[in-house]
Structure 1
Amino acid sequence: MGMLDHKVAIVTGGASGIGMAAAELFRAEGATVVAADRTLGEGITQLDAGSEEEVEAFVERTVADLGGIDIVFANAGISGGMAGIFEQSSTDWQEILRVNLVGPFLLIKYAAPHMKERGGGSIICTASVAGLRAGAGGAAYSASKAGVISLVKVAATQLAGTNVRVNAICPGLIETGMTAPLYEWARSTGREERIGRLNPMKRGGEPGEIASVALFLASDAASYVNGQAIAVDGGLSASHPFSIQDYGRTSA
């Protein structure tokens, strides 16, 4: 018996990385999954996550085909690079916010009423540790993810009494298509050991480690978890970054 038996789930950004890992895990746990992405692939519905027309049509089509929606994983996002405030244009910001922040808003707006009709459900949004504090992403990306964290809190409050839960996952450094340039650079220069060196786990994460948290939030096991932003970052956000060598090592 799976954790998501008889559930219908939407996963955006489902063609690779965290979205693909989550879609595969949700299916393995019994859910019927509709995965969407702007990049077409096997079993992928093409979707511009920041387009209101496309998101509304996507949600309505899913409901018509499958009878309803129980789980939404609003995971689609773009990086926008590491440019600072003074190197980016308003156009750059508008596009990053359109996909990363307006996208989750649109899924909540159009999916939540259907979930309410079914007696509840779980909405999960991918935020980032970059939305918790500076230094983990570019300016616009960080601002967009901070917005996602605020969005889930507001949405959870406005859906009070519906049994629709809304939470965010804040990944740290995860090896995905978005972070591929960093990983490739580290490996090509013999500096792979530096990946994730600032978190207590001393490593980067894998998409499946985020997908496992998404599964928990999607399931009834998280029935009392609502309006939260959960960091999954190897402990990076537990402190201000420092070099552990400066403090010495202590045995447990």
Structure 2
Amino acid sequence: MGHDLDGRIAIVTGAGSGIGQATSLLFADHGAHVIAVDVTDGVDHTARLGGGRIEVARCDAGDEQSVAQLVEDVVARHGRIDAFYANAGISGGWKGLFDQDASDWAEILRVNLIGPFLAIKYAGRVMAEAKRGSIICTASVAGLRSGAGGPAYSASKAGVINLVQTSAQMLSTSGVRVNAICPGLIETGMTKPIYDMVRERGREDRIGQLNPLRRGGQPNEIAEAALFLASDRSSYVNGHALVVDGGLSSSHPVSKQEFGRPAS
């Protein structure tokens, strides 16, 4: 394997499955010492797959005290943080605009948007002192325009895109880069209901039909983008939302509407 992250300290949240797990393993394969973070037991499996190159930390990525403690502990043990991939997120289910309430929105925003903010706030300060570091946040094509997610989820991911742009500016001259990845339809635990439903109906060929590649993506394809952004190969990439979606966002897919078409 390559050594793009040789000897570096990298934190990955949402590492118990899907994109976070794939990224943790890829970072480790490329020489990083990885702190895999999750609230689920899946993170233990990630560590086992890593063969001793990955350590486990339990943390609620959207809780300020927990993230502050996580960063403090990692710095105490390893002296620095070179990369932080704020990947943890939730879909919040598939409710429509009129079926969600404020508490649904609050929880989705807490995990999906406040979580990346906390990563930037606490890891960014440590990285700025060292004059180097890369922070990556998982956004989504749903944050670019409608048609790829529910209202609260989409709004949270749009917030992540603006957050990395704003943070990159506010961290000017610090040596810290802040970027986002916007995945399209990726086969993960979050999208499992979609994949299961389509497969049960014998219509697996319809997965990813709206993008030019005509297929869904795999977690390792997002992990490769995260590796690029975490490494020095992306040294001049900053404040950017990197879209990895098979071309889905090059067009404007039709979204589900709350009301039918108006009478002609």
Does TM, scored on the shorter chain, surpass 0.5? Answer: yes
Contact residue 112 and residue 157 of structure 2 kept, 8 A: yes
Q: 1:112 aligns with which of 121, 124, 135?
A: 124
Identity %: 62
Question: In the alignment, residue 7 of structure 1 is paired with which amino acid?
Answer: R
Alignment RMSD (CA, Å): 0.9
**How many pairs were matched up?**
242
Q: For residue 214 of structure 2, what is the amino acid of its counterpart? A: K
2:52 equivalent in structure 1: none
Residues 9, 31 of structure 1: 8 Å contact kept: yes
Q: Is the 8 A contact 1:13 1:76 kept in 2?
A: yes
Does residue 1:169 correspond to 2:193, yes or no? no
Q: 1:51-62 to 2 correspondence within 5 Å? A: 51-62=63-74
In structure 1, runs of 5+ residues without a counterpart are: 243-252
Give yes or no for the alignment of 1:31 onto 2:32.
Answer: yes
Match in the other structure for 2:260: none
Q: Contact 1:82–1:139 (CA<8 Å) still a contact in 2? A: no
Q: 1:127, 1:49 → 2: CA distance?
A: 15
Q: TM-score, normalised by structure 2?
A: 0.90
Q: Which runs of 5+ in 2 are unaligned?
A: 48-55, 255-264
Q: Does 1:46 align with 2:47?
A: no
Residue aligned with 2:98, SS: helix
1:121 aligns with 2:122: no
Kept after mapping to 2: 8 A contact 1:69/1:111 = yes
Q: Residue 249 of structure 1 aligns with which residue?
A: none
- Amino acid of the structure 1 residue aligned with 2:22: A
Query: Is 2:17 the counterpart of 1:12?
Result: no
Q: How many angstroms does 1:241 deviate by?
A: 2.6
Alpha-carbon distance, 1:222 to partner: 0.2
Matching residue of 2:231: 219
User: Where in structure 1 do 4 or more consecutive aligned residues deviate above 3 Å?
Assistant: none
Conservation of the 8 A alpha-carbon contact between 1:123 and 1:167? yes
In the alignment, what sits opposite 2:258?
none
Q: Residue 70 of structure 1 contacts residue 118 of structure 1 at CA under 8 Å; is this kept in 2?
A: no
| 1: CA distance, partners of 2:40 / 2:23 | 17
Corresponding position of 1:247: none
Alignment of structure 1 residues 31-110 onto 2, 5 Å: 31-40=32-41, 41-42=43-44, 43=47, 44-110=56-122
Q: Distance in 2 between matches of 1:128 and 1:157?
A: 21
Structure 2 match to 1:248: none
Structure 1 length normalisation: TM-score? 0.94
